[in-house]
Amino acid sequence: MTDDVIIRREGAAGILSLNRPKAIHALTHAMCDAMSDALSQWADDPAVQVVIVEHAEGRGFCSGGDINLLRQSALTDNGASGRAFFWSEYRLNHQMFTFEERSGGKPIVAFMDGITMGGGVGISQPARFRVATANTRYAMPETGIGLFPDVGGGWYLSRLKGHVGTFLAVTGGRIDGADCVWAGLSTHYLPTDALADAKARIAAGEDIATVLNALSETPPPSKLSAHADDIARHFGQPTLEAILSSLSADNGEWAQKELAALRTKSPQACKVSLREIHESLKNADFAAEMVMEYRIAARVLVLPDFAEGVRAVIVDKDNAPQWQPATPEGVTEAMVDAIFAPLPANEEWSPL
């Protein structure tokens, strides 16, 4: 157990409350294991009829995984502790994705109030009910640090309409709660002052859909939806080079802004993310998705772009990463193939 996640029972609800406010509730290995243990117990506990995932205090639901831990692993132990973290985190993601079926129909409700990025997406998207607010800031920003949208990101993003998922995957674009509802990433939009009431009523055993529908408000217009045609046209292109070319040929303000953003990302990470989006649609189930993502994670963790990306964005904050390779053309199909290749049989990821 760990103080970084508060695990408690309230009425009919088992509650997982992330509690690392200074790190915007970034997930650690211990937090993943503690949540996984709780879910295993609650699945068979008749007194628990619903699981609520929330954050305790501070500005955000969950900012992702513990990036500094992962970077230290890449630099000091050839990625061993980083792979161990991914193994447990992905097991938690899969456990949440299959929890309702395994538990005989107990739903998960995730309150995505505030920053919901990376690992925070992984523990909110599996929920049947995903609540956004005016504070929600959602992103899969991994290509900016040499990673890729993991924790099931390939599964979720590949299934969004109009290539919105490809756009979010490669640009790392941040969207708000209204955008999440429009894209299908959230099921409800609640005023922040209604959250406590919603949680209390759900814990008291009231019908979840009825409670959330009654407390929901109409979100403001989605800014993302205003660019749906642009996203479909540019990010429906088959390769990174074609996306960049399409954006370059569009003199519009939005296209030029996204082009500039995309050029700051790791070319390797962008090509890996595009392959992931394409391959995810072929996966038969979520377990197959996690097997694929673990293969990718195990390899990109120790490639130069990850440690360099974290250095540039989080450690030194000079925002001037020196990517290897430096250009999309330098990232060959053979390089990407090697990242996606099966691991030795005794190293492949497996669910609980």
Q: What pLDDT score does 58 carry?
A: 75
Q: How far apart (Å, rounded) are the C-alpha atoms in residues 63 and 59?
A: 10
Tell me which of 82, 119, 122, 172 is the catalytic residue. Answer: 119
pLDDT digits (tens, 9 = 90+) for 177-234: 999 999 999 999 999 999 999 999 999 999 999 999 999 999 999 999 999 999 999 9
Domains and CATH numbers, the chain: 5-347 (3.90.226.10)
Q: What is the pLDDT of residue 2?
A: 83
Single out the residue of 161, 130, 10 nearest to residue 62, CA to CA.
Answer: 130
Paired with 18 in beta bridges are: 5, 55
Q: In the numeric block, which tokens belong to residue 331?
A: 């990232």
Is 65 a catalytic site residue?
yes
Instruction: State the pLDDT at residue 137.
Output: 98
**Whole-angstrom distance, CA of residue 111 vs CA of residue 106:** 16
Report pLDDT digits (tens) over 98-109: 999 999 999 999
- Cβ atoms 335, 268 nearer than 8 A: yes
User: At 166, which amino acid appears?
Assistant: T
State how far the Cα of 175 lies from the Cα of 125, in Å rounded to an integer.
15
Could you tell me which residues come within 8 angstroms of residue 284 by beta carbon, excluding any fewer than 6 positions away? none
% of the chain beyond a pLDDT of 90 = 97
Q: In this structure, what are the phi and psi dihedrals at residue 291, rounded to the nearest 5 degrees?
A: -60, -45
- Concatenated DSSP letters of 36-97: HHHHHHHHT-TT--EEEEEE-SSS-SB--B-HHHHHHHHHHSTTHHHHHHHHHHHHHHHHHH
Among 142, 176, 179, 289, the one annotated catalytic: 142
Yes or no: say if 190 and 294 are a contact pair by the CB < 8 Å rule.
no
Confidence (pLDDT) at 293 = 98
Residue 1 has what pLDDT? 67
Beta sheet of 175-176, edge-to-edge order: 115-117, 137-139, 175-176
Q: Which of 33, 89, 150, 179 is catalytic?
A: 150
Average predicted confidence (pLDDT) for the chain: 97
Catalytic annotation present for 142: yes
The single residue listed with the structure tokens 């523990």 is: 123
Q: How confident is the model at residue 66 (pLDDT cuts 50, 70, 90)?
A: confident
pLDDT by residue (tens digit) across 235-283?
Answer: 999 999 999 999 999 999 999 999 999 999 999 999 999 999 999 999 9
pLDDT band at 94 (very low <50, low <70, confident <90, very high): very high
Which is catalytic among the residues 64, 65, 173, 177? 65
- The rounded distance, in Å, linking the Cα atoms of 160 and 36 is 27
